[in-house]
């Protein structure tokens, strides 16, 4: 959601931005918004004047009654009743127009950063940098689910019976490796100065609708029956919800949080669940980073944040690359975004393990998250990034540390989290 003032003062920039994102069908929205805005302001002025009259008249009635001028008071009362009638229709129109305006504003994309590469869709995303050599070993790497099963670390069949497709039992050292990674990710971010946070795993509907659109909500969120509660799809939901409608102290900025949570996703309309694997599932765990900062610092944080994820995976001996989202693939709320992708020696290509975004003030405007500064309040910038999501991150570690003898080398940094274990073997 962009600032309506920007449309008032510089609608060319807004239109230009829409074109950059190849959403030409949205171009008429700009003028529609302007027209609505004018109409609403007219209505507001008219209403405000009526309310002013009502206020003064009501006060007058008070003093008339005190002076025992009952008749005069009754006359005035009639006038106020008239005003209220008039206001009723006026207010209804105003509410309707405001809703219409808001729905149109929601469709106008956030102004993207000048550095975002122009492109139509995900095929035009741009590789920024590779970190580590994408090594293809001279032996074959089996499918990750097969590796896990061969080490008695995965049971999808039972999960199918208890919960259905898209669920899994992780067991033994594979489960331990998964937990080790999440714990290590937590400590990794704490070392970077982030505050560790365990948020609520369920949130109310008003928070849900604040952080996503209805379409997204339908496709992602699980609802608890007979309760106004939804299972979170990512801790970002509860972490950003934490600040909804709040005014934070400027001296507390930047607020850098790293949150752990299980994540639940229906994955309706996504590319489909994996029948055998753990790549796309209904339930996973994630260590996330969320930052609220001053607007002028957001780009600096953005670059720091994706770098943290790169460093994290490099410390696990996983080669990665960063892939920048091109203009057309960038979600409407985002200013700039990139994926961190891990190398798959089996598929000999990179696959997504995390996503780093700066939303500028778009999310803050929508949720009214402000900081109190010397010259009044201002909207903060919000950013979020994955440290690691598992089992997806687990796949990367397993494939890149798989040994020819069918065992998995435990990356050094994870060994302390595995009771000193250096290798995952069947025995």
Instruction: Give the interface with RNA as residue ranges (CB under 7 A).
Output: 4, 41, 44-45, 47-49, 51-52, 54-59, 61-63, 65, 76-77, 80-81, 84, 228, 370, 376-377
The Cα–Cα gap between 403 and 137 comes to: 9
The Cα–Cα gap between 35 and 389 comes to: 45
Q: Which is nearer to RNA, 9 or 377 (CB)?
A: 377
Question: Nearest approach, Cβ of 338 to RNA (angstroms)?
Answer: 32
Question: Nearest approach, Cβ of 390 to RNA (angstroms)?
Answer: 23
Look at residue 69 and give its three-state secondary structure: coil
Q: Which is nearer to RNA, 35 or 412 (CB)?
A: 35
Q: Which is nearer to RNA, 77 or 409 (CB)?
A: 77
Question: Nearest approach, Cβ of 86 to RNA (angstroms)?
Answer: 12
Question: Nearest approach, Cβ of 425 to RNA (angstroms)?
Answer: 35
The Cα–Cα gap between 245 and 370 comes to: 8
Contact between 358 and 302 (Cβ < 8 Å) = yes
Q: Which is nearer to RNA, 65 or 126 (CB)?
A: 65
Q: Which is nearer to RNA, 336 or 370 (CB)?
A: 370
CA angle 228, 234, 237 (to 5 degrees): 55
Q: Which is nearer to RNA, 5 or 115 (CB)?
A: 5
The Cα–Cα gap between 395 and 279 comes to: 8
Residue 171 Ramachandran class (φ > 0 left, ψ -120 to 50 alpha, else beta): beta
- 61-75 b/e with 16+ CB inside 10 Å = b? beebeeeeeeeebee
* Pick from 383, 293, 385, 397: nearest CA to 339: 385
Question: Nearest approach, Cβ of 169 to RNA (angstroms)?
Answer: 22
Q: Which is nearer to RNA, 4 or 107 (CB)?
A: 4
Question: Nearest approach, Cβ of 112 to RNA (angstroms)?
Answer: 23
Strands 370-373, 247-249: pairing kind: parallel
Q: Which is nearer to RNA, 38 or 403 (CB)?
A: 38
Question: Nearest approach, Cβ of 247 to RNA (angstroms)?
Answer: 8
Q: Where are the alpha helices (DSSP H) in 202-334?
A: 205-211, 214-220, 235-241, 298-314
Q: Which is nearer to RNA, 95 or 347 (CB)?
A: 95
Question: Nearest approach, Cβ of 294 to RNA (angstroms)?
Answer: 15
The DSSP line for 93-149 is: HHHHHHHHHHHHHHHSPPPPPTTSPP-SSGGG-EEEEEES-----SSPPPPHHHHHH
The Cα–Cα gap between 70 and 83 comes to: 20
Question: Nearest approach, Cβ of 171 to RNA (angstroms)?
Answer: 23
The Cα–Cα gap between 26 and 85 comes to: 37
Q: Which is nearer to RNA, 164 or 373 (CB)?
A: 373
* Pick from 183, 131, 177: nearest CA to 321: 131
Question: Nearest approach, Cβ of 216 to RNA (angstroms)?
Answer: 23
Half-sphere exposure of 241 (CA within 13 A, CB side): 22
* DSSP 8-state secondary structure symbol assigned to residue 348: T
Contacts of 344 (CB under 8 A, 6+ apart): 350, 351, 395, 396, 399
């Amino acid at each position: 959601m962009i600032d309506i003032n920007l449309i008032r003062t510089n609608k060319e920039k807004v239109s230009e931005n829409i074109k950059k994102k190849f959403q030409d069908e949205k171009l008429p929205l700009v003028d529609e918004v302007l027209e609505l805005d004018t109409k609403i302001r007219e209505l507001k002025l008219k209403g405000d004047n009526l309310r002013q009259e009502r206020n003064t008249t009501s006060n007058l009635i008070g003093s008339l009654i005190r002076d025992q001028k009952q008749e005069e008071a009754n006359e005035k009362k009639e006038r106020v009743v008239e005003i209220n009638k008039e206001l009723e229709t006026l207010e209804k129109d105003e509410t309707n127009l405001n809703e219409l305006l808001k729905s149109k504003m929601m469709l106008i994309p956030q102004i993207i950063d000048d550095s975002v590469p122009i492109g139509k869709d995900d095929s035009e995303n741009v590789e920024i940098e590779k970190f580590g050599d994408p090594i293809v070993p001279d032996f074959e790497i089996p499918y990750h689910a097969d590796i896990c099963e061969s080490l008695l670390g995965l049971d999808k069949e039972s999960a199918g019976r208890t919960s259905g497709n898209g669920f899994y039992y992780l067991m033994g050292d594979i489960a331990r490796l998964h937990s080790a990674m999440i714990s290590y990710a937590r400590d990794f971010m704490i070392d970077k100065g982030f505050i560790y946070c365990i948020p609520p795993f369920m949130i109310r509907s008003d928070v849900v609708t604040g952080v996503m659109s209805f379409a997204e909500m339908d496709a992602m969120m699980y609802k608890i029956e007979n309760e106004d509660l939804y299972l979170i799809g990512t801790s970002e939901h509860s972490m950003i919800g934490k600040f909804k409608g709040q005014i934070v102290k400027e001296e507390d900025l930047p607020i850098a949080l790293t949150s752990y949570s299980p994540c639940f996703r229906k994955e309706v309309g996504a590319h489909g669940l994996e029948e055998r694997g753990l790549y796309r599932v209904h339930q996973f765990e994630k260590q996330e980073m969320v930052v609220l900062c001053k607007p002028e610092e957001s780009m600096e944080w953005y670059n720091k944040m994706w770098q943290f994820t790169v460093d994290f995976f490099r410390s696990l001996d996983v080669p990665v690359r960063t892939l920048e989202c091109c203009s057309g693939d960038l979600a409407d709320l985002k200013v700039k975004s990139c994926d961190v992708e891990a190398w798959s020696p089996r598929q000999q290509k990179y696959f997504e393990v995390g996503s780093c975004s700066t939303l500028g003030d778009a999310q803050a405007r929508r949720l009214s998250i402000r900081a109190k500064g010397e010259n009044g309040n201002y909207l903060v910038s919000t950013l979020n990034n994955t440290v690691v999501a598992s089992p997806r991150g687990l796949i990367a570690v397993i494939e890149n540390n798989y040994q020819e003898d069918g065992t998995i080398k435990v990356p050094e940094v994870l060994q302390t989290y595995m009771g000193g274990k250096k290798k995952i073997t069947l025995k």
